[in-house]
Amino acid sequence: MLIYLGCCTVLAFGLALVLMQAGAAPAAVAHAAFALGAMPLIFAAMGHFVPVLTRSSGAGKAVHRLPLAMQLAGAMVVGVLAGALPGWTLHAAAVVGLVATGLFLAWQWQRGNKALGQPHPGLAWYKAALGCLILALLAIFVGLLWPAAYAPLRLAHLHLNTLGFIGLTAIGTLHVLMPTVLGQPDAQVAQRLRRQLPWALGGVAATAAAGVLPWLTPLGALLMGGVVLHTLVGWLKTHGWRRILGDGAAVPLFGAGVGLLAVIAAGMAHGFGLMPGRLAVSAFFALFLLPLVTGALSQLLPVWRFPGPMSPLREQMRARLVRLGQLRTALFLGGGGLLAMGVGAGAVLLAAGVLLFAVALASGLVLRR
Ligand code: HEM
Ligand code: HEM
């Protein structure tokens, strides 16, 4: 399931770039990347990490299938927004998403309560992220039924989803993933996770509310930006430049952090009306999501493909996936920077980066026991 969804996500990112070039509605492009691509993969990855964080057995069959429900919901949204499916499908997608997310959150809650001792603090980030997704889906569902409130509810939906659902999942996971990638333990991880969560939640709440209360804009940007900056500085202190730059999975993960910081700066700018908000959507995809997902998959796919103790095959697959990680990161950040400045040709650099990763992925997947 994890390998299938990893591949589907890369295909969905490719689809988003094709839709972008074909001149499809920007909302269709955004949902190809975020709802069809990232959302189901996040569910599958959480399903893999929650048992680790709570020291419990692997997820059961029903929980394993929830990502497929999210994939269906994502496909329905893209279908409607691209004009291929009737409008009522959007309401159905929101309901499917809400039910599946509610079930998943209940499962995470139960695992946390049953954990031997205190669950790892990363679990609270996942529960908070799912809480944001539920609020975001409720917001758009109510907005669809109540046109007068559609505009502010749409803003709440998109900020809760990007910074809340994807952002909190990513930061919570990166704290644990970076030391694993570098093979160097970081004693500060649990403390950093505990300390940062209330600030991050405050940042998401202020940003989601800034659509109706514009004076919250600088507060939201400062809180979110502060958490990301704190994380980046912590990594540099613990691991150092050289180690990070030398690993083809660590570079994209660090690059995703830097990219998110840039997106938050763009958020401050568009919140004050200094640039179009839409540019932040492509920037979020290019500067943050692409390096994040390719970096995380470079580390995780070999573990998912060859589970159990470390093996030469797993090492070989990782080596193939991290090759050119630095170049891919440069393509994503460069292309994303151009898109954020309104230069459409930046998409070519993104396409090159995604293609490079797809080739690395294929060369890694042909390895057999
Ligand atoms: C079942 C799931 C979802 C449904 C039913 C849904 C529905 C919608 C709808 C109806 C809009 C307004 C489109 C418009 O005004 O043209 C919208 C906008 C948006 N949504 Fe979603 N969405 C879902 C999931 C997500 C997810 C998971 C994310 C990101 C993580 C996301 C991010 C956005 C963004 C960024 C926009 C603004 C796009 C733009 O105008 O360029 N959505 N969504
Ligand atoms: C901390 C960061 C952020 C802050 C403080 C922020 C703030 C705001 C505010 C106040 C508005 C309303 C502007 C208005 O009504 O004129 C807005 C709109 C918008 N924001 Fe953000 N935002 C942030 C991050 C993001 C991110 C990450 C994305 C994209 C994924 C995004 C996409 C948008 C979009 C598409 C609009 C609507 C523009 C439109 O309706 O055409 N924002 N933002």
pLDDT in tens, 130-142: 999 999 999 999 9
Q: Among the ranges 56-70, 133-147, 338-352, which has the highest mean pLDDT value?
A: 133-147
Q: Hey, what are 184's tokens?
A: 């160097």
83-107 average pLDDT score: 96
Cα of 136 vs centre of ligand 1, distance in Å, is 9
User: Could you give phi then psi for residue 245, rounded to 5 degrees?
Assistant: -65, -20
Q: Which of 367 and 66 is assigned the larger pLDDT?
A: 66
Ligand nearest the Cα of residue 205 is: 2
Q: Which atom of ligand 1 is nearest to the CA of 162?
A: 30
331-342 average pLDDT score: 94
Q: Does the pLDDT at position 368 exceed 90?
A: no
pLDDT of 273: 93
- Give the tens place of pLDDT for each residue, 224-266: 999 999 999 999 999 999 999 999 999 999 999 999 999 999 9
1-15 average pLDDT score: 92
User: What is the band of 358 on the pLDDT scale with cuts at 50, 70, 90?
Assistant: very high
User: What is the band of 26 on the pLDDT scale with cuts at 50, 70, 90?
Assistant: very high
Q: DSSP E strands: which ranges in the chain?
A: none
Angle between helices 2-21 and 39-53 (to 10 degrees): 150
Q: Which atom of ligand 2 is nearest to the CA of 225?
A: 1
| Placement of tokens 């004050």 in the chain | 272
Q: Which residues line ligand 2 (CB under 6 A)?
A: 155, 158-159, 162-163, 207, 210-211, 214, 217, 220-221, 224, 263-264, 267-268, 270-271, 273, 277-278, 280-281, 284
Q: Which of 310 and 218 is assigned the larger pLDDT?
A: 218
User: What is the band of 60 on the pLDDT scale with cuts at 50, 70, 90?
Assistant: confident
Q: Does the pLDDT at position 99 exceed 90?
A: yes
Q: Are 311 and 364 in contact (CB under 8 A)?
A: no
117-136 average pLDDT score: 96
User: What is the band of 342 on the pLDDT scale with cuts at 50, 70, 90?
Assistant: confident
Q: Hey, what are 99's tokens?
A: 């039910």
Q: Are 263 and 280 in contact (CB under 8 A)?
A: yes
Pocket test for ligand 2, best of 31, 160, 270, 285 (most atoms within 8 A of CB): 270
Q: Are 286 and 328 in contact (CB under 8 A)?
A: no
Q: Does the pLDDT at position 115 exceed 90?
A: no
pLDDT of 116: 81
Q: Does the pLDDT at position 128 exceed 80?
A: yes
pLDDT of 367: 85
- Give the tens place of pLDDT for each residue, 284-319: 999 999 999 999 999 999 998 998 888 999 999 999
| Placement of tokens 């580390």 in the chain | 299
Angle between helices 189-209 and 150-159 (to 10 degrees): 170
Q: Classify 323 in phi/psi space as left (phi over 0), alpha (psi -120 to 50) or beta.
A: beta
27-47 average pLDDT score: 96
Residues 103, 42: Cα–Cα separation, whole Å: 15
Q: Does the pLDDT at position 369 exceed 80?
A: no
Q: What is the H or E stretch that residue 12 is in?
A: helix 2-21
Q: Does the pLDDT at position 90 exceed 90?
A: yes
pLDDT of 238: 94
171-190 average pLDDT score: 93
Cα of 239 vs centre of ligand 1, distance in Å, is 37
